[in-house]
Amino acid sequence: MRILIVDDSRAMRMMVKRVLGQIGLRDATFEEAENGQQALVAIREDAPDLVLSAWNMPEMTGIELLRALNDEGLKVPFGFVTSESTGEMREQAILAGSRFLIAKPFTPHSFTEALGPVVGL
């Protein structure tokens, strides 16, 4: 399984990878992007099996990335890992096709609950 982690914080990308390993995805291949624009280029070249994206980033936000993927007909399982999780954001995410929204600070349990139905944990 190839997982693209999109976040402008290198430390946060590392934490997400660590938690993914803790929940049983140690054998996954992890790719990284610092913003939605980099992620869009990477997904166009070779779509991963799953995208985990922050919401707020420079260049292109996570929701803008998801909408761009939709506009281009690029279907990839997509979820948010974000420090903000208002009801409005959750609604926007679901309407745009996000499979889940994990709020920071996160735990292995919150990742298992969110990713379980998507990746079969």
Query: Which domains, ranges and CATH numbers included, belong to the chain?
Result: 2-116 (3.40.50.2300)
**Both tokens assigned to 101:** 């929204």
Per-residue confidence at 121, pLDDT binned at 50, 70, 90?
Answer: low
Phi-psi label, residue 106: left if phi above 0, alpha if psi -120 to 50, beta otherwise: beta
Q: How many CB atoms lie within 10 A of CB 105?
A: 8
- Residue 54 in contact with residue 12, Cβ under 8 Å? yes
- Residue 101 in contact with residue 93, Cβ under 8 Å? yes
Give the up-direction half-sphere exposure of residue 29: CA atoms within 13 A in the CB hemisphere: 5
- Residue 41 in contact with residue 66, Cβ under 8 Å? no
- Nearest in space to 98 (alpha carbons), one of 111, 89, 110: 89
- Nearest in space to 5 (alpha carbons), one of 44, 88, 28: 28
In sequence order, the β-bridge partners of residue 101 are: 80
Q: Tens digit of pLDDT for each residue in 88-100?
A: 888 999 999 999 9
- Rg of the chain over all Cα atoms, to the nearest angstrom: 13
Q: Tens digit of pLDDT for each residue in 18-70?
A: 999 999 898 899 999 999 999 999 999 999 999 999 999 999 999 999 999 99
